[in-house]
Structure 1
Amino acid sequence: MGFIIIYIVIVLAVVEISVVLMRATGLDKDISRFQVVSLLTSTGFTTKESELISDHPLRRRIGMFLILFGVFSFAVIVSAIANILAPGFRLSYMAVSACSLIAILLIVRTPVMTSYLSSKFNRSMERSFDVHELPIKDVLLLEESDHFAEVPVGPDSAYIGQKMSEVLPSDADLNLLYIKRGTVNVRKEKHDTALEAGDVLYLYGNRHDFDVLFAGEIPDKTSESANKGRK
């Protein structure tokens, strides 16, 4: 019974430490906890939230540790059960490990350490990774006014039949990345293609200009995946 309690303490400590590290990379608390448990148990939920892990270099490293720790833990449980049945097994060794992890957890959860980890991870992202390895928010969302959005063209849209060269004023601080039409991504002729219902516009630029042109058109359809990481 003592082994089970100590082992649960160790697992919970690993989960909480990993959640703190995930949050230090800019991930939301609730998302961090769910994804940490998912990785630790190798359940592999294929949600949009999981892309926040797979698309981020530092979070991927934490995720790999959790996956390996989960697999290793299973082996430890089997081995420990066998040792419990053998003479000479001492819970004191596991108790020391559990206390060490709790001490680490208490340290990393202090405001000073949390601030340090966030700063350290941000510097690591700036120095250690190429642009193509970074998540969208770290490449495009450099200022508070920057915005990235998916804009579905609805069946009643006023923009149906118009070209994006007509929709976007010349002085608008917005860039059309591409138009997604079914399984086709229109890039080369994106500004000269007449819009159809069902098209999805991928836009990047100033949030104010986006609100002026598109917020009333599709008030609840903006992409939130890129903005979650900023919180």
Structure 2
Amino acid sequence: MNLFFLLIYFIIITTVIEIFVILFRLTDLKLEVSWFQVISLMTGTGFTTGESELILGHPIRRKLATFLILFGAFSLAVIISSISTILSDDLRTKEILYMAGGVLLVFALLKLKSVQTKLSKLFKQDMKQNIELDDLPIRDIFMSEKQDLLLNLHIYKESTLFQKQISEVIHDYDELEFVVLFILRGELKLRKNIYHTQIHEGDQILIFGDKNVISKLLKKDIKIMEEKLKNTQHTPVSEHHSL
């Protein structure tokens, strides 16, 4: 009977994992990241990876993560207790079956497309109404349209911007659909007169705007950066990466 209890409880744990993978997916987190982070949160292992910032930087994901951490600690206690009382009759199979049925019911509901759509809208509505702008991750602030691009452009000697001003390379920049947020030079962030500042090798220019406009204006520099970073096994910060 005790072994049956453990089997049912493991089914509950597996279903809870599936449920929270779905919930994290509804907050626009990638499937593979959701799987790893849910298991990491429940077991208390691996959560210190760089991807954990995707959880910590998002208000709704933080709430989901809090439940998972507590549930993981509770599950460990239950499993240890069950094993230690393997010869006793104290375990209440009926109650655990009810719990398993409830969890499976929640999982079945979350698999429905209509329920997922409503929850996704609810999450986004809650983000807009109750969360301060500075609490939101960069993706949710900047990447509101399909054509939005946030690019961290690395400058090399081969770059067209090297030892030049942005205004010299990009004419009528104030009429185009892009903006330079700042220039990162070592530990120094340059925010003043950035369009008229000479660009040095090693500078990183954070640019936001229309993907097509940026890709056309800085096509050569982006290609040089991608080749350089590929050789050094780094990845530029763009719309696919969180800051």
Please confirm whether the aligned pair reaches a TM-score higher than 0.5, indicating the same fold. yes
Which residue identity does 1:145 align to in structure 2? Q
Provide the rounded CA distance (Å) in 2 between the counterparts of 1:178 and 1:69: 42
Give, as a single letter, the amino acid of the residue that structure 2 aligns with 1:60. R
> Could you tell me which residue of structure 2 aligns to residue 85 of structure 1?
87
Q: 1:149 to 1:103 in 2, by over 3 A?
A: same
Shifted more, 154-163 versus 106-115: the winner is 154-163
Conserved 8 A contact 2:6-2:82: no
Greater RCO between the two (CA within 8 Å, min separation 6)?
1
Q: State the percentage of identical aligned residues.
A: 33
Asked if the contact 2:153/2:204 (under 8 Å) is kept, the reply is yes
Separation (CA, whole Å) in 2 of partners of 1:101 and 1:215: 51
1:134 and 1:46 map into 2 onto residues whose CA distance is 20
* Matching of residue 223 in structure 1 with residue 227 in structure 2: no
Q: Secondary structure at the match of 1:227?
A: coil
Q: Once the two structures are superposed, what CA deviation does each residue of 1:128-149 show, in whole Å capped at 9, x if it has no partner?
A: 1111111112212222222111
Q: How many residues align?
A: 228
Q: Displacement of 1:66 after TM fit?
A: 0.9
Q: Who is 1:178 aligned against?
A: 182
Deviations 1:151-201 (A, max 9, x none): 111232121101223333322221111111222222234333211121111
Q: Counterparts of 1:73 and 1:169 in 2: how far apart (Å)?
A: 61
Q: Is the 8 A contact 1:27 1:228 kept in 2?
A: no
CA distance in structure 2 between the aligned counterparts of 1:45 and 1:154, rounded to whole angstroms:
35
Deviation at 1:150, TM superposition (A): 0.9
In 2: Cα distance, 1:205 partner to 1:94 partner: 53
Give me the whole-angstrom Cα distance separating, in 1, the residues matched to 2:47 and 2:59.
Answer: 19
**How far apart in 2 are the matches of 1:192 and 1:47?**
39
- The one of 191, 199, 206 equivalent to 1:202 is 206
Q: In structure 2, what residue type is equivalent to 1:98?
A: A
Q: TM-score, normalised by structure 2?
A: 0.86
2:115 match: 113
Residue in structure 1 matching 2:196, options 192, 195, 199:
192
Q: Is the 8 A contact 1:153 1:159 kept in 2?
A: yes
Give structure 1 stretches of 5+ with no counterpart: none
Aligned equivalents of 1:195 and 1:46: distance in 2? 35
Name the CA distance, whole Å, in 2 between partners of 1:158 and 1:164. 10
TM-aligned CA distance change 1:90 to 1:146, over 3 Å: same
Shift of 1:222: 4.4
The 1:168–1:50 alpha-carbon spacing in structure 2 relative to 1, beyond 3 Å, is farther
Q: Which amino acid aligns with 2:204?
A: V
Helix, strand or coil: the match of 2:240?
Answer: helix
Q: Which residue of the partner structure matches residue 165 of structure 1?
A: 167
Rounded to whole Å, the distance in 2 between the matches of 1:39 and 1:185 is 35
Secondary structure at 2:221 match in 1: coil
Distance 2:60 2:180 in 1: 29
**Aligned positions of 1:72-151 closer than 5 A:** 72-151=74-153
CA contact (8 A) 1:147 1:205 kept: yes
The answer to whether the 8 Å contact 1:162/1:195 transfers is yes
Alignment TM-score, normalising by the size of structure 1:
0.90
Distance in structure 2 (CA, Å) of the matches to 1:197 and 1:228: 23
1:227 deviation in Å?
3.4
Specify every segment of 5 or more residues in structure 2 that has no aligned partner in the other structure, as ranges: 227-234
